[in-house]
Chains A and B, each alone.
Chain A
Amino acid sequence: MDRRTFLKSSAAAVGGVAAPAVWSPSKAQSRQETLLIVSESGPNNLDIHGVGTNVPGYEVSWNCYDRLISHEMKTGPNGAPYYDRDKFKPELAEDMNVGDMSATFKLRKNAKFQDGSPVTARDVKWSLDRAVSVGGFPTFQMKAGSLEKPEQFVVVDDQTIRVDFIRKDKLTIPDLAVIVPCIVNSELVKKNANPKDPWGLEYTKLNTAGSGAYKVTRWTPGTEVVLERNEQWASGPMPKVRRIIWRMIPSAGNRRALLERGDADISYDQPNKDFAELKGNNKLRIISTPYSNGIQYIGMNVKIAPFDNVKVRQAVAYALPYQKIMDAVLFGLAEPMFGAKAGSPLEVKWPQPHQYNSDLAKARQLLAEAGYPNGFETTLSFDLGFAGINEPLCILVQESLALIGIKTTINKVPGANWRTELNKKTMPLFTNVFSGWLDYPEYFFFWCYDGQNSVFNTMSYQSKQIDGYIEAARVAAANNDTAAYDKSVKDFVGLAFTDIPRIPMFQPYVNVAMQKNVDGYQYWFHRRLDYRALTKS
């Protein structure tokens, strides 16, 4: 029985009190062309350049704005479409010419913003200037690709824009294909800007002003976002779905019920247990993809005794209940990052499994060698914002560490407070996730292990040796020196494993559940939905 007949019959069954009246034909039509997405939380800002835009906000930006370039698709590890890190395709630009120290982009002549005005090189320059100038996350992300100053973006003519490089950096071009360098309708936004808000952030917070495939037509924060297809979209094949209704349903149980009853078309961020069960009953299409360049780990602050001792860190690495966590916490929905065969060579990739495994005897021995035969006491912290995974995980870790004498008190940190705590770098032992949009090992290590001590180097790890390897890999990548690059990657991965300031446990999965008649899901580095490719039959 499909949804409509079901609704009709149930409406009849209860005399039309509980269920809405029979659908009028036009409503049935719009159901066919509309996709209902449910998720726990929604955007707080429609513009990724805004102050404190949350991750759901990125999804809106991705679908409502175009970038100069985007990625091609390939087949992913699970057989589903997966973005191709190395292949770029034009989006707003119809042609890209990368030179030694600059790249030139020619814009599509027929590209128009959603208000009908043409997209010009001046809009592109204004938008990229905005991204490197507003501060906060967008500016930080641009910097990751050596895009730092407005002078780097040069208008050649109405249809041509040149991006000058300040240094050779392999990540510059990929960084132009992430969500941040989106092209904004500069005339429209300038009209709505004021001296206190020169970039018009207040306007774009509530309105989409792009040339993208969708536009937001209604937004009730915390309740729903409605997006309509932009019929004038010129930067790709016309999307199949005319309307997206994205509702925020806080209760995971209800999201699952909506899916199973066929009322919602797509849901993500369900608990792993739900996905494991839904996979079993085969009524829905479930796609699980490992986070690209992402790992959940146990971190140890190497500035705080006893974790300044490498033997203690190794002892902890041998004492973690890896497999139990995989089974009981993740229901198998993750990629194990432990237990590589002893003596197997390192690979030139990241993430990759390390050779530690649960081996309590070895852990006890290492702990004794380090001078803590009876263990010690410490606290284990986690982010309550992700308590679904973190809480059971930490309890298992606590139990397991107790077996080698390490007594831990669990410290639950509220989501709002977690980043502050990470920034302070005073937590001795904690679990956390990091994943990078740009899928390059040296990118991950630059943020997480380098001596510049960024927020993500949560362990305060300082090693001149690893800094050298990371720098060598960056230089080799910029100069296309494969042999030197491969050696440097193996060097820093190897050192990260022997020194083990953070213990990788698993690569989490992005799980998306959808009805069988919904197709076209693509995995993107940002892990959000791309509405443009979705279809509903």
Chain B
Amino acid sequence: MLTMIARRMMLAIPSIVGVIVVTFLLTRVLPGDTAAYFAGPAASAQAVEEVRVKLGLDQSIPVQFASYVGDLLRGDLGASLTTGRPVVTELAARLPASTELTLAALLLSLVIAVPLGIIAAVRNDSWVDHFTRIFTTAGVSLPVFFTGLLFVYVFYFLLGWAPAPLGRLDVFYSSPPEWTGFFLIDSLVAREWETFRAALAQLALPTITLAVFSLAPIARITRASMLNVLASDFVRTARAAGLSGGTVVMRYAFRNALLPVITTLGMVFSFLLGANVLVEKVFAWPGVGSYAVEALLASDYAPVQGFVLVMAILYVLVNLAIDLLYGVVDPRMKVEG
């Protein structure tokens, strides 16, 4: 098992090196002059040059790359010019916000989409099936910023059910003592029930927004995979043997239909991290996505590179986790690396 994990990690190294090179080059060819931007509106040509030298941007590209890689090996991702802080600290502070939101959305989406998919498969062509199809298609075809704004308008502005879209916590709460960085978990650990409620309340709308967006792939794959399995011989045998409907569906069919669903989960997690960017903007969520976008708009290289790198590592880890999960779900899937 451990050797398998190590082998997988080794395989990931070339792709991470590729990501480092490509992001470095991409950020350099972007239009926009960092030095001019940070020298301010009133800067003379000379002031711009001074800033350029200060930032090390007067060096040739290979020299800049070498010093970037050198810093990277020491765990230094550079400092952001827009926020004025080291990128590592910023990402460490913001990543939990994004992952908490993404995982919550994924969980919610699973809880809704998998049962919907199963029912749609079992009651193939019934109204449930059609409803599922319409509901999930609608969810995925509405852009997340639109659903987000719509939810804010309806549930906060009109109905007043949701709290103000002010980020992870209402302004009058202070964040719980940091342990995992997930406010829900940290507040429970610290037994701050009021903070837990406040954090959950803030999390509700962005989570629903993201979940609605990710229902479709999970529900559709569950349905398709279930239909396939339900039509197979062993299910027919099980039914013929007189097993109850529930046992057949849940114990025999669903377990066998799970593999494609897990694969999809990995993909959905990845694209939710991307979709996060817009949701974070709408809900003033202090996550990594909004951080990277703001940096990009200001031609602030270091955070963009750091963000892409962290995302790449995250993808590698998610894929690894999924491969491991295969083995658990289906012992036949002995992963060979």
Chain A interface residues toward B at CB < 8 A = 6, 10, 13-14, 16-21, 23, 27, 30-31, 34, 36, 44-45, 50-54, 135-137, 140-141, 205-206, 220-224, 245, 247-251, 253-254, 257-258, 260-261, 263-264, 414-417, 419-420, 423, 454-456
Contact = CB atoms under 8 A, between A and B. Distances in A.
25 contacts: A18-B155, A18-B161, A19-B160, A19-B161, A20-B163, A20-B197, A45-B84, A51-B38, A136-B40, A137-B42, A137-B43, A221-B84, A223-B284, A224-B167, A249-B165, A254-B282, A254-B283, A254-B284, A257-B157, A257-B165, A414-B31, A417-B37, A417-B299, A419-B41, A455-B41
Contact of A263 (B81, B161, B164, B291): B164
A221 B51 contact: no
A249 B152 CA distance: 13
Contacts of A419: 33, 36-37, 39, 41, 43
A264 B161 CA distance: 17
B74 interface: no
Nearest to A256: B157
Given A18-B201, A51-B38, 17 more contacts: A14-B161, A17-B201, A34-B171, A52-B40, A52-B81, A137-B40, A140-B47, A220-B93, A223-B284, A223-B286, A247-B166, A249-B166, A254-B284, A263-B164, A416-B32, A416-B298, A419-B36
A414 B152 contact: no
Given A21-B197, A52-B38, A420-B33, A247 B171 contact: yes
B48 interface: yes
A414 B44 CA distance: 20
Interface in B165-205: 165-167, 170-173, 194, 197-198, 200-201, 204
Classify chain B's interface size: 35 or more
Contacts, number: 177
A20 B36 contact: no
Contacts of B166: 247, 249, 258, 263
A18 B282 contact: no
Contact of B84 (A14, A206, A253, A254): A206
Interface in B282-310: 282-284, 286, 290-291, 294, 297-299
Nearest to B293: A250
A261 B157 contact: yes
Contacts of A456: 42
Contacts of A53: 40
Nearest to A434: B41
A45 B298 CA distance: 15
Contact of A21 (B51, B149, B161, B194): B194
A19 B83 CA distance: 31
A403 to B, nearest CB: 32
A419 B161 CA distance: 45
Contacts of A19: 160-163, 201
A140 B165 contact: no
Nearest to A23: B172
A18 B203 CA distance: 9
Nearest to B148: A251
A257 B148 CA distance: 13
Contacts of B90: 221
A19 B152 CA distance: 14
Contacts of A137: 39-43, 47
Interface string B115-152: 00000000000000000000000000000000001001
